[in-house]
């Protein structure tokens, strides 16, 4: 394979990844509308004000960082590992880490100042984990609930990096 062919394959991969993540975010926001607001006791969709929005400039920055992390991972590995191609889990770990750290989903004023603990305030982390599972082809509801909760807690409140997440997602791929 020539250098140009390798670059074309890599660029195609990153373009597909970017389009896929944007599509997922749009789908997830549609699903958010079905969440029931504990305070108002009605679905988010029926609340008169918009609850959240996607920051597309932050999402653009995320793609740059994801691409940089994956290319660095490949370069750093060199001949240390038999395959230069990172595993699905390693890429999923990078995706989840970067998506969560950039705060792509922003809550509107009413929802952001609400005192109720609810799913909406956790959307950045939830979407990031969902994107990682979707990238790997794992439906998150097949991951045991206790494991999902533990991962979400660690992901949200403890220090984890993309390398550690990559190992966790590689393990998910091995689950029956």
Residue 91: the pLDDT is 92
pTM to 2 decimal places: 0.81
What is the residue extent of each domain of the chain?
Answer: 3-174
Separation of alpha carbons 46 and 28, rounded Å: 17
Per-residue pLDDT of the chain (176 residues; tens, 9 = 90+): 677 777 778 888 888 988 888 888 888 877 777 666 666 666 666 666 667 778 888 888 999 999 999 888 887 766 665 566 788 899 999 999 999 888 888 776 666 556 666 666 678 888 899 899 989 888 888 888 898 888 888 888 888 888 889 988 888 777 66
Q: What is the 3-state secondary structure (H, E, C) of 83-116?
A: CCCCCHHHHHHHHHHHHHHCCCEEECHHHHCCCC
Residue 82: the pLDDT is 59
């Amino acid at each position: 394979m020539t250098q140009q062919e390798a670059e074309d394959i890599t660029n195609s991969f990153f373009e597909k990844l970017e389009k896929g993540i944007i599509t997922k975010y749009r789908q997830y926001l549609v699903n958010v509308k079905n969440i029931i607001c504990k305070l108002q006791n009605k679905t988010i969709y029926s609340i008169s004000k918009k609850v959240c929005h996607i920051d597309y400039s932050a999402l653009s920055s995320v793609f740059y960082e994801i691409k940089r992390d994956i290319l660095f991972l490949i370069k750093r590995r060199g001949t240390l590992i038999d395959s230069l191609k990172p595993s699905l889990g390693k890429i999923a770990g990078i995706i989840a880490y970067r998506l969560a750290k950039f705060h792509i989903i922003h809550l509107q004023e009413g929802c952001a100042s609400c005192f109720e603990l609810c799913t909406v305030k956790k959307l950045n982390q939830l979407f990031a984990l969902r994107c990682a599972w979707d990238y790997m082809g794992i439906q998150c509801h097949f991951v045991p609930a206790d494991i999902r909760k533990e991962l979400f807690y660690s992901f949200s409140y403890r220090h984890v990096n993309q390398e550690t997440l990559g190992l966790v997602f590689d393990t998910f791929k091995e689950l029956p």
